[in-house]
């Protein structure tokens, strides 16, 4: 009788990153344009509320069409799960093949910029202070991970902090980077290409390309190599 292998790690192929970019149906672009012409920005935001949480085919199609209609630009193959929300989506530029998980929230600003590159995977309940945010191509974003792109100046000290000015600093996430579950990226931070941020890390300074960081505050752990094992400090269970 052979020993049980239950509980051992196993390696399976990723799904999102290996997919061909899904083609939109022929009517998709026309639907988005019709919505844009008929509703305008305020109307589209109100309309989105009707389809924001459903899981059916119509809800899924309408979420996608409304995002395509209301953003500054949006590629093909977008998938938006139920409960995903936004603020100032007119400042968003979204690439091809982007997935936005359930209850993720992207908070832009009327004079801001939010760029999300091709084939980016955003896990459920992620949060983005997207007043000045660029996420390059093929980034994996773990469930619950966050970007904080601004802070209050807290000056002068004789007024409530929430009434003080906001200081906005750009956050840049390099291509191929992987942000672990519940990690937090603070204002002004740049994550280098191909870097890995461990689950739960709080990143307060720039991360070198192809490095691995973890902890609170996040510290350099090692460089990635071709012989990297399964990186269980970073992945959030996505396929």
Q: What is the set of active-site residues?
A: 152
Structure tokens at 82: 């139920």
Contact assessment for residue 195 and residue 209, using Cβ atoms and an 8 Å cutoff: yes
Element containing residue 45 per DSSP (H, E)? helix 27-51
* Sheet bearing 140-141, strands edge to edge: 79-80, 99-100, 121-122, 140-141, 178-179, 196-197, 211-214, 219-223
Task: State the Rg of the chain over Cα.
Answer: 19
Structure tokens at 103: 């209850």
Nearest to 138 by CA among 158, 121, 157: 121
- Please, what is the end-to-end C-alpha distance for the chain in angstroms? 33
Q: How far apart are CA 196 and CA 234, in angstroms?
A: 7
């Amino acid at each position: 009788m052979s020993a049980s292998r239950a509980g051992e790690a196993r390696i399976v192929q990723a799904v999102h990153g290996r997919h061909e970019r899904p083609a939109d149906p022929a009517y998709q672009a026309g639907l988005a344009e019709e919505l844009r012409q008929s509703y305008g920005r305020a109307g589209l935001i109100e309309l989105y509320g009707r389809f924001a949480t459903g899981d059916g085919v119509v809800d899924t199609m309408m979420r996608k069409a409304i995002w395509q209609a209301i953003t500054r630009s949006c590629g093909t193959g977008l998938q938006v799960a139920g409960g995903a929300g936004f603020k100032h989506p007119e400042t968003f530029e979204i690439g091809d093949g982007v997935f936005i998980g359930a209850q993720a929230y992207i908070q832009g600003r009327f004079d801001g910029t939010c760029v999300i590159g091709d084939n980016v995977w955003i896990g459920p309940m992620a949060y983005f202070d997207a007043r000045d945010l660029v996420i390059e191509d093929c980034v994996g974003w773990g469930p619950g991970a966050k970007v904080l792109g601004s802070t209050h100046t807290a000056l002068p000290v004789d007024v409530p902090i929430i009434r003080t000015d906001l200081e906005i600093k750009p956050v840049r996430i390099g291509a191929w980077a992987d942000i672990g579950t519940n990690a937090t990226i603070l204002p002004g931070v740049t994550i280098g290409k191909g870097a890995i941020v461990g689950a739960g890390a709080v990143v307060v300074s720039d991360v070198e390309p192809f490095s691995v960081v973890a902890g609170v505050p996040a510290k350099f752990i090692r460089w990635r190599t071709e012989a990297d094992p399964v990186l269980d400090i970073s992945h959030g269970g996505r396929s």
